[in-house]
Structure 1
């Protein structure tokens, strides 16, 4: 199997929250502040006030920290705009002073890079600190207009305070993650409105020259259709601002669905790793026919129990992957299978959903492999309750327990998966083989639509161990190479890998570099993000 060798120095810091880690980050921060940056910060302070800038070593250490194997990337400073107008000022000053900005909303993309920039020395433009208002909610047409700092928790509370007429589509990630930032990075949820970027409309974007642009019907000033219609006139330009560095999105509407009167979940466990192919074949027709309106999760044993358990060092002495007999003990303890399938139905009442549940139950139990778990049992299970919360639009912290599986290190590998049993089986074999070769556990959740699933691999490692960081970097490269070989590209990518991932795609790079050079010749906005650079 081909491998990519790690071509950059691995910088190892202590775990994310340690004092040693912050001291190391602070020392790196002092080296990253350049003389031309100082003139930029002085100009920003003069325009926006002293509180709009922080270049203290302690703060830069925090903003540079992440959980990735490549080490922390300390910024040159942090700027806190309070409005779209402030962002325009900062972008124009960055052009004048030759500064590169790293826009971020809340920095809660844990295991993807957090607040730290793609390149050390970039100035973090922390939009979420002061731009955190829900600007409007339209219950009749089903949307909320938000700024980058609005979190899933905050939006949930806003909707609850208005009588729970509308339901957000949350993630199973941090409730304090930003709704807008998640959508722009093409994160996703689990309800029928799972496509968070697809649910954005009426974006307000500060371009690299400091001018404001609204794609779609928002391009006509005063349009009453701005938050309602993405189509508009001419080419669809919204996608230019997703997983890119072509502008800074300062507000948008997120479309929301009416909250159902009743939400009833279901789950099935399957006993063996090799059941995955049959599971995918069972799930696909339910999604193609929309018999199940939510996405459906197919969760591996360690991904599920890892939300409550940490790695059992006392049993294994650190051996990875975890032995099969220990995996079986953990899943028996928590009432899950080698795979656990979950979803939910919506309707006017619990009773109205009975017939649908019975049809789904008959569909899975016909395999002779599935054990049914009822809604009432799911409600009581700490491992399974996570799924009910996500199908119900309830932000949950429960899945964050995965981050404690080992010792602070975490990265996500996120390929797509065809909804074809044989293809999913091949992917499982590839992932298990590569992860075992480098000494890591297979922890994955397939989030299934009708034609493709997101294969959410979380790879946990000891970030304070130089050897584990090295192996993790090499493992990620090997996974990318192995999936390239079977024709499955990676999607959403941690900052450690964005530039190298882009180098694999020459035509992508040619076009995006031409766009970048045309609209951002000074490289003001995050050069290197998702591999996009100018000439």
Structure 2
């Protein structure tokens, strides 16, 4: 994109582009890109005001010389300096230079360069180079986790290690044991398309959008919507490059000649996989994943509930059904605001006032839709042969209809462009491209994720909803809320949608987020993931027994990464060189992402 362009370019298409959209979904991608393009007043390119972002602790001349040394080893085409104007792109053409959904100034969480290794030995080469020159690295798989920071590094001036561009092979798909082995650049789209091409009767569990990396999403504890929705729970086997360059495999992969690496996740001895999820302890280069066998059919259903307080009774109804596996998938309970926003229409078509859209205005617009007036919408899916589905659906209907005002919506009454059909595809193991529509709600649409976890209990969920509602009202933000139903817990995915072109709205969103994090923690609820600028705050809420967990993580960090080169600050874990030098950002926030330099390593004269 550029400021002089008059129309959006065609999105990249898979398989010509490893990160592209499948041809079957290209029309949706073109539609969403065009909508966002037309609703953007922010410049597509942001001129650089501060020049090249050089990592703390190293001079510019020394850094450029070190990059030149790396380019001689890795290849000049695979080492790219980040000194050009910043382009925000969009979901299918996301930047690996900065945070496209910025909260602070764009140049705060900006990289100095991007490197593209093409093999495990090249990853090790990059790690060895970083240790030699004490350059912070920030590895990404594909960088599409845009609501949580995308490809942006926590430490300004870090070198992005883009694992996906040249390491994007599907190494194995086994239709007998329903497993696969993939590299970081394999997206949900890519795996799905390859399975269809081979004609295997197996499914891919997919999140709302399928363009992200399977490895990246799994390491971030991402969620999909079939019975295999717990992606971390479905993984088996990691290959990891440690911050000192050693390579090892977890579980059965540590046994030479084993063919059980993707079928049994534990192996012998301590299970080390977990320390490489949501951490900065290593770079994952391969991962195994369980796939879902074709269940012989599925059926998506939709219920609406009239009152906001119905959430309490609904969740208490859901809990025993979900634990008993009567409700089979990671379903969604969505607030009705999303139902009109996901149409892709602008907020001004519904309400042009200030503050959150009034309840009566919202209900008036919902009355004109096929689902009618409501406050909560439940999307669920049942699996297996028709007689099994019918048996469970009858039980669900009987229980849901005990809630006064509950209504089952007949899918056949819904037009083919209704959002229901996208949810049905996703819950049926087919990646889609519909969820981005709500970004058109405001100009220059961006979003952050406020994502606390609670037990599947109505009283807990009602508390979280009221925390979010109160803070959204305070800061004038429309409430986009979804509860993802796990087996015994709910993930509250609160999409905080805002105009990223407005410094005032960015500041309001930051204050709203920090307030909700603090409010939720005081009530005993913690986030399961968050945007990189809130990671310090969230990590500090997990402070039982005088911060015993963080102290343990810091011991691991210093042992595995003695030079502190790998993703310093990620998930609030700072290496010794950065620790206690003002890099952490607490609940009060601040204007800069940087601290007061770094501590020189032992025996060094560096500043």
- Is TM > 0.5 for Structure 1 vs Structure 2? yes
CA distance 1:273–1:448, shift in 2 (3 Å)? same
Partner Cα distance (1:319, 1:23) in 2 = 28
Q: Which residue of 1 aligns with 2:124?
A: 88
TM-superposed CA distance for 1:158, in Å, is: 0.8
Q: Which of 499, 505, 509 is residue 468 of structure 1 equivalent to? A: 505
Partner Cα distance (1:194, 1:29) in 2 = 43
TM-score normalised by structure 2 residue count: 0.82
TM-superposed CA distance for 1:109, in Å, is: 0.8
Q: Which of 449, 460, 474 is residue 412 of structure 1 equivalent to? A: 449
- Is residue 157 of structure 2 the alignment partner of residue 121 of structure 1? yes
Q: Which of 552, 561, 584 is residue 520 of structure 1 equivalent to? A: 561
Query: SS of the counterpart of 2:506?
Result: helix
User: Is the contact between residue 350 and residue 365 of structure 2 (CA under 8 Å) also seen in structure 1?
Assistant: no
How many residue pairs are counted as aligned between the two chains? 519
Query: SS of the counterpart of 2:496?
Result: strand
Partner Cα distance (2:39, 2:117) in 1 = 26
TM-score normalised by structure 1 residue count: 0.92
Q: Which residue of 2 aligns with 1:259?
A: 294
User: Is the contact between residue 276 and residue 425 of structure 1 (CA under 8 Å) also seen in structure 2?
Assistant: yes
Q: Deviations for 1:129-176, whole angstroms, at most 9, x for unmatched residues? A: 111110110110111110000011101101111214110110003x21
Partner Cα distance (1:284, 1:500) in 2 = 30
Note the 1:42-61 alignment, pairs <5 A: 42-58=68-84
User: Is the contact between residue 206 and residue 249 of structure 1 (CA under 8 Å) also seen in structure 2?
Assistant: yes
Q: Which residue of 1 aligns with 2:486?
A: 449
Q: Which residue of 1 aligns with 2:243?
A: 208
Q: Which residue of 2 aligns with 1:510?
A: 551
Query: SS of the counterpart of 1:57?
Result: coil
Q: Deviations for 1:31-90, whole angstroms, at most 9, x for unmatched residues? A: 437333323322221112111111142376542132142233210100011111110110
Query: SS of the counterpart of 2:334?
Result: strand
Partner Cα distance (1:298, 1:316) in 2 = 24
User: What stretches of structure 1 of length at least 5 have no aligned partner?
Assistant: 1-13
Partner Cα distance (2:476, 2:321) in 1 = 36
Partner Cα distance (1:254, 1:29) in 2 = 42
User: What stretches of structure 2 of length at least 5 have no aligned partner?
Assistant: 1-36, 88-94, 577-607
- Is residue 43 of structure 2 the alignment partner of residue 20 of structure 1? yes
Structure 1 vs Structure 2 CA RMSD: 2.1
Query: SS of the counterpart of 2:356?
Result: coil
Partner Cα distance (1:508, 1:36) in 2 = 37
- Is residue 63 of structure 2 the alignment partner of residue 37 of structure 1? yes
Q: Deviations for 1:307-365, whole angstroms, at most 9, x for unmatched residues? A: 114443265434121111221133223334310112111113x3553333222212211
Q: Deviations for 1:461-513, whole angstroms, at most 9, x for unmatched residues? A: 11111111111111111001110111111121111111232234322221111
- Is residue 303 of structure 2 the alignment partner of residue 268 of structure 1? yes
Partner Cα distance (1:521, 1:168) in 2 = 38
CA distance 1:241–1:378, shift in 2 (3 Å)? farther
User: Is the contact between residue 95 and residue 524 of structure 1 (CA under 8 Å) also seen in structure 2?
Assistant: yes
CA distance 1:29–1:141, shift in 2 (3 Å)? farther
Partner Cα distance (1:207, 1:241) in 2 = 10
Q: Which of 499, 502, 511 is residue 536 of structure 2 equivalent to? A: 499
Which deviates more, 204-213 or 464-473?
A: 464-473
TM-superposed CA distance for 1:534, in Å, is: 1.7
Q: Deviations for 1:220-240, whole angstroms, at most 9, x for unmatched residues? A: 233222222111111110000
Which deviates more, 378-387 or 454-463?
A: 378-387
Partner Cα distance (1:35, 1:382) in 2 = 56
Name whichever structure is richer in helix by fraction. 1
Which deviates more, 383-392 or 149-158?
A: 383-392
Q: Which residue of 1 aligns with 2:98?
A: 64
Partner Cα distance (1:32, 1:295) in 2 = 43
Q: Which of 255, 258, 266 is residue 231 of structure 1 equivalent to? A: 266
Partner Cα distance (1:196, 1:285) in 2 = 23
Q: Which residue of 1 aligns with 2:418?
A: 382
TM-superposed CA distance for 1:202, in Å, is: 1.5
TM-superposed CA distance for 1:244, in Å, is: 0.3
User: Is the contact between residue 164 and residue 259 of structure 1 (CA under 8 Å) also seen in structure 2?
Assistant: no
Partner Cα distance (1:30, 1:318) in 2 = 41
User: Is the contact between residue 370 and residue 413 of structure 2 (CA under 8 Å) also seen in structure 1?
Assistant: no
Query: SS of the counterpart of 1:30?
Result: coil
TM-superposed CA distance for 1:267, in Å, is: 1.1
Q: Which residue of 1 aligns with 2:527?
A: 490
TM-superposed CA distance for 1:375, in Å, is: 4.1
User: Is the contact between residue 39 and residue 97 of structure 1 (CA under 8 Å) also seen in structure 2?
Assistant: no
- Is residue 578 of structure 2 the alignment partner of residue 534 of structure 1? no
